Structure 1
Amino acid sequence: MLAWIQHAFEMVVNEWGWALLRGALVTIQISFGAFVVGLLIGLVVAMAKLSGNAPVKKLANAYTTVCRAVPELLLILLLYYAGSDAINAVLRLFDMAPVDLNGFVAAVTVLGVVQGAYAAEIIRGAVQAIPYGHIEASKAFGCGRWLTLRRVILPEMMPYALAGLANLWMVLIKDSALISVVGYNELLFTTKQAAGSTRQYLLFYMAVAAIYLLVTLLSNAVFVRFERSFRRWMPAH
Structure 2
Amino acid sequence: MLEQLSPAFVQFVLSLQGFAPLLLQGTWVTLKLAVLSLLLGLAFGLIGAYAKLSSVWGWRCAARIYTTLIRAVPDLLLMLLIFYGLQTGLTRLTGGLGWAYIEIDPFGAGVITLGFIYGAYFTETFRGALLAVPRGQVSAAQALGMRPIQSFVHVVFPQMIRFALPGLGNNWMVLLKATALVSIIGLADLVKVAQVAGKSSQQLLGFLLLAALIYLLMSSASNAVLRWLERRYRREGQL
TM-score (norm 2): 0.93
CA distance in 1, matches of 2:150, 2:232: 23
Amino acid at match of 1:185: A
Alignment of 1:1-237 (within 5 A): 1=2, 3-4=6-7, 6-235=9-238
- Is 224-233 or 106-115 further displaced after alignment? 224-233
CA distance in 2, matches of 1:156, 1:39: 16
CA distance in 2, matches of 1:182, 1:135: 45
Amino acid at match of 1:33: L
CA distance in 1, matches of 2:94, 2:9: 55
CA distance in 1, matches of 2:7, 2:133: 58
CA distance in 2, matches of 1:207, 1:11: 14
2:12/2:203 contact within 8 Å kept: no
- C-alpha offsets along residues 21-72 of structure 1, whole Å, 9 cap, x if unaligned? 1111110000001000000111111111111000111001101110111000
2:66/2:120 contact within 8 Å kept: yes
Amino acid at match of 2:151: T
Q: Secondary structure at the match of 1:118?
A: helix
Q: Shift in Å at residue 147 of structure 1?
A: 2.0
Q: Shift in Å at residue 131 of structure 1?
A: 1.2
- C-alpha offsets along residues 158-179 of structure 1, whole Å, 9 cap, x if unaligned? 1111111111111111100011
Q: Can you give the 5+ residue segments of structure 1 that lack an aligned partner in the other structure?
A: none
CA distance in 2, matches of 1:4, 1:81: 44
CA distance in 2, matches of 1:215, 1:153: 31
- C-alpha offsets along residues 140-194 of structure 1, whole Å, 9 cap, x if unaligned? 2222322222221112111111111111111111100011111111000111111
Q: Secondary structure at the match of 1:233?
A: helix
Amino acid at match of 1:147: Q
Q: Secondary structure at the match of 1:234?
A: helix
TM-score (norm 1): 0.94
Q: Secondary structure at the match of 1:13?
A: helix
Amino acid at match of 1:62: I
Q: Can you give the 5+ residue segments of structure 2 that lack an aligned partner in the other structure?
A: none
CA distance in 2, matches of 1:219, 1:13: 26
CA distance in 2, matches of 1:233, 1:29: 30
Alignment RMSD (CA, Å): 1.6
Q: Secondary structure at the match of 2:237?
A: coil
Q: Shift in Å at residue 12 of structure 1?
A: 4.8
Q: Secondary structure at the match of 1:16?
A: helix
1:12/1:204 contact within 8 Å kept: no
CA distance in 2, matches of 1:87, 1:165: 33
Q: Shift in Å at residue 138 of structure 1?
A: 1.2
Aligned residues: 236
